[in-house]
Amino acid sequence: MKHKVVITGMGTVNPLALNVRDTWKMATSGNSGIGKITHFDAVEHTTRFAGEVKEFDPASLFGKKTARHMDRFVQFAVAATEEAIRDASLNITDSNRDRIGVIIGTGIGGVSTLEKQTVTLRKSGPKRVSPFMVPMMLPDTAAGQVAINFGTRGPNLCITSACASSTNALGEAAEIIRRGSADIVISGGAEAAITPVTIAAFANMGALSSRNDDPESACRPFDQDRDGFVAGEGAAILVLESEQHAIERGAPIYAEVAGYGLSNDAHHITAPAPDGVCAIISMELAIRDSNLELTEIDYINAHGTSTPLNDKTETLAIKQVFGEHAYQVPISSTKSMHGHLLGAAGALESIMCVQSLIHGIIPPTINQFTSDPECDLDYVSNNSRKLSADAIMSNSFGFGGHNASLIFTKYRANTSSTLNV
């Protein structure tokens, strides 16, 4: 007997907006959060644009001293968590803090701190390196700082599985609740990797778009002329909770985490398996876990990175899983608007899925200009669409061959309180 897992709160900081409400408004309007890089002088870089978080003021949120000792990805995580906790009407006290966990995924962690302190070492010598460097750069610091800031003492983990990190974080958080090890888990992802070294490295490996003359239309998932992903940054946090606990405390319930699947390609460190076989496995496992039929999946939020390999491989995998029904299922990639948040991507896209369930709207894949014969499904091109979905799948795939899929469903108060897994 397993506990049903529901979502009771959401928070985000991302290139579209600094909260969930405005993010959803921007996404459903088809707006782009991508522009020229301002974090550093990118004039010598091959790619000079990204999805940066704008108007984010950590000093006003945390105080100058505290903010100075937090890497940007941690600042994002704490800010998004504050919104999510508030949204969940969650009061953390001595009576419940031991049963509240935190699992936050990140692909890279505090790379900005590492880069800056490396420069300090070279310019000024070892004695000038900050003693705060190690805790600032560690990938698990976001989860640790959230626990410290909000006083949670339950399970606390960092998941690092490249661009699948926060999808895995949410899936593992759900499993912790299902087995009864926590009543609530604050989960999601955070990333702040728009730095000189990171952008140069991704560009030099041929992963980034180089459309410097038109940043807003550079990310073109499933379009024939796609030429790479656009880096993004930010955080997205969801409050996951057992149904019983949420009902007992009168929490708002937005949706259910109904299914989770994961796999590995065992193929290549950066390229997806060409036949999509293991992406197929993660999707099939998630559907099986949800106890849904294939035809009950109403919408797929795709990984959809805008790279030549990913998009055709994901399309192939979806066709293999859904058969002819694949042509009936709307698919979109919101990365076209906010860029690729790397380890935080899956969590932000999970919020998009939950918002779709709540509002009956599918956000679009913008920048769809030229059809690709190898990507011939319904990608909700350029404009959002009204659809009262009951079940939504979200996919995330990462370097190292990591694949993860989640299924979210509308919450039905009169359904069974258990799931068979």
| SS3 letters across 197-233 | HHHHHHHHCCCECCCCCCHHHCCCCCCCCCCCECEEC
HSE value, Cβ hemisphere, 13 Å, CA-based, for 26:
20
| Res 273: pLDDT | 84
Mean pLDDT in residue range 22-49: 98
416 pLDDT band (50/70/90 cuts)? very low
Asked if residues 362 and 302 have their Cβ atoms less than 8 Å apart, the reply is: no
206: left (phi over 0), alpha (psi -120 to 50) or beta: left
The residue behind tokens 């509002």 is 359
Task: End-to-end CA distance of the chain: give it in Å, rounded.
Answer: 9
Count Cβ atoms within 10 A of the Cβ of residue 41 and give its class: 0-12 exposed, 13-18 middle, 19 or more buried. Answer: exposed
Q: At what angle do helices 196-204 and 111-124 cross, to 10 degrees?
A: 110
Number of H helices, E strands in the chain: 14, 16
Mean pLDDT in residue range 149-156: 98
Count Cβ atoms within 10 A of the Cβ of residue 161 and give its class: 0-12 exposed, 13-18 middle, 19 or more buried. Answer: buried
> Cα–Cα distance between 110 and 74 in angstroms, integer?
8
pLDDT in tens, 246-271: 999 999 999 999 999 999 988 898 88
Domain 2-248 and domain 261-400 have a common topology: yes
Helix (H, G, I), strand (E, B) or coil at 394: strand
| Res 125: pLDDT | 97
Domain residue limits, the chain = 2-248, 261-400
Strands 402-409 and 100-105: unpaired
pLDDT in tens, 61-80: 999 999 999 999 999 999 99
405 pLDDT band (50/70/90 cuts)? very high
| Res 413: pLDDT | 81
Mean pLDDT (the chain) is: 95
Q: What residues are labeled active site?
A: 163, 303, 340
414 pLDDT band (50/70/90 cuts)? low
Asked if the model's pLDDT at residue 42 lies above 60, the reply is yes
Helix (H, G, I), strand (E, B) or coil at 273: coil
The domain 261-400 is placed in CATH, from the list 3.40.47.10, 3.40.50.12140, 3.40.50.720, 3.40.50.11440, at 3.40.47.10
pLDDT in tens, 158-217: 999 999 999 999 999 999 999 999 999 999 999 999 999 999 999 999 999 999 999 999
421 pLDDT band (50/70/90 cuts)? very low
The residue behind tokens 């950066």 is 270
Asked if the model's pLDDT at residue 1 lies above 50, the reply is yes
Q: Say which range, 91-95, 137-141, 266-270, 292-296, has the weakest mean pLDDT.
A: 266-270
Asked if the model's pLDDT at residue 353 lies above 70, the reply is yes
10-16-21 Cα angle (round to 5): 40
pLDDT in tens, 262-312: 999 888 988 888 888 889 999 999 999 999 999 999 999 999 999 999 999
Q: What are phi and psi of 144, to 5 degrees?
A: -65, -45
Q: For the domain covering 2-248, report its CATH number.
A: 3.40.47.10
pLDDT in tens, 109-123: 999 999 999 999 999
What percentage of the chain carries pLDDT values higher than 70? 98
